[in-house]
Each structure stands twice: as structure tokens, then as C-alpha cells.
Amino acid sequence: MAYQVVLPVYEGPLDLLLHLIDTNELDIYDIPIAFITGKYMEYLRQAEDIDLNLSGEFVVMAGTLLVIKAKMLLPKRPQDGLGEGEGADPREELVEKLLEYRIYKENAQELKRMETGRTKIYYREVNESLLLSLFPHPNPVEGLTPADLYGSFREILRLMAARSQVITVQKDEASVNDSMLRITQAIDGSAGRVKFTRMMEDCVSLLEAVTMFLALLELLAKGRVRVTQRGVFGEIYIESGQAAQEA
């Protein structure tokens, strides 16, 4: 009975190194390079014995590990500003690559887990026609009659007609001086006095009435007219100021 050896397949040399570090519970920041190199070379020999084809990257990494191992065994030369044995660590570049690869590997495993979880979710097919029949859209004009529509149409026509109407505003030419002249002429033509209400009734607009009132105040201020009233709420008369002085 033949003895068969089955080796796990790794995606690359960094994947193999991470597996060896995690399996042997090694510190990735202080890798025992002689030990890890021995484990790595042992895997390559087993792969060669069972005729497992490995990519050239595994061979390149083997050479890199041997170079680092040799540097670790050689005495370190003192550098400027550093004491003896304090030179750069030859494992530093390898550690950086391993840490970066671990991040990508963990992210890939998380994406793979999410993909596996999504494959277990099944969606029910939606029958849109059936849903629309169960929940029909409300009719916004339900219950309206042709008479209601006709009434709304007439109201719209009325609003449109009112909007199109043009209102012409005529300029009022009344002035205080003209109103003063009208008051004095009315007094002269009415035996020296005239009713205040008569002067206001002749005004055809609000602006003309205000102008007439201002003209009366101006005549009073100049002493050309005076106003009299014989009782409370009685008629107010406008008299000539000269006539009042002679009386």
C-alpha cells in the first residue's frame, strides 16, 4: 500500500510564510529566520518529492530567506553614528511585505464570507400585475359629474377674463392753487359765503377732495377766508376773510 502525502496549496510564498508563522505561533516582528527558513525549505522538498509544480516565486523566496539567514549569521559592521551590532535589520523588508499581505488576505477572506452569505439568500419573484390589482391607484375624479366639470370650466373662464381686464387710471390734474381759486370764486358767487359740503360734493375723486381740503387750510392760514358753525354738527360755512373784518 503506497503512502500518499497531500500538501496544502498556497497562493504564493508570502501565504506559505504566514501559515508557518501562525502555525508555530511566532512573532512576525521578530522572526527566527533560521527556523522559518528550515520549515520553508522542508515544504519545498516535500512538494518536489510528490511532483507538485510550484511557481518561480517560491524559489525566489527561498533564495531571499537564505540571503537573510546568511546576513543574520555574519557579524554586523558598525555604521556612522551607530554602535557595533546596531545596523539595519535584514528582516525588515520581509516583515513589511508580510504585514501588507496579511491585510489583503484578511480583506479577501471577509469578502469571501460576504459572498458565501449572499449565496444563501433567495429572493421571491414579484408579480407587479398582481400587486397593482390588490392595491389599485385611487381615481382623483371619482364621483364628479359633467355638471361639476362644466361649472369648474366656467369659473376658469371667468378668472381668465378678469385677469385680462385693463384698468385705465386717469391722471388727476387738481392742484392746491386751482382749488383755492375755486373756493374764492364760489364765495364771490354766493353772497360772500358758501357751504363746506357744497365744495366737497363737487369733488369727483378722493385726491381732488384732499386737495380741496388742503386749499381751504391754506386760505385760512393766509387769512383770506374764515369758517363758521352755528351749532354742534351744524352746517359749516366758508366766508370771505375781508367780509368778516368789515362786519
- Quick: pLDDT tens for 9-50: 677 888 889 999 988 888 888 888 889 998 988 888 887 776
CA distance 71 to 4: 37
12 by Cβ neighbours in 10 Å (0-12 / 13-18 / 19+) ranks as: middle
Alpha-carbon distance 112 to 224, whole Å? 108
Name the DSSP class of 167.
-
Q: Which three cell numbers stand for residue 42?
A: 522542508
**Whether pLDDT at 184 is above 70:** yes
Asked whether 225 and 241 are in contact (CB, 8 A), the reply is yes
Average per-residue pLDDT for the chain: 78
Rounded Cα–Cα distance for residues 16 and 98 (Å): 10
**2 has pLDDT over 50:** no
Residues 193-211: tens digit of each pLDDT: 888 888 877 777 778 888 8
Q: Which amino acid is at 236?
A: I
CA distance 210 to 155: 39
- What band does 100 get if pLDDT is binned at 50, 70 and 90? very high
Report the alpha-carbon distance of residue 233 to residue 247 in Å, rounded. 25
66 vs 145: which has the higher pLDDT: 66
Is pLDDT at 245 greater than 60 in this prediction? no
Q: What is the pTM of this model?
A: 0.43
Look at residue 1 in the predicted model and tell me its pLDDT.
39
**pLDDT at position 247:** 46
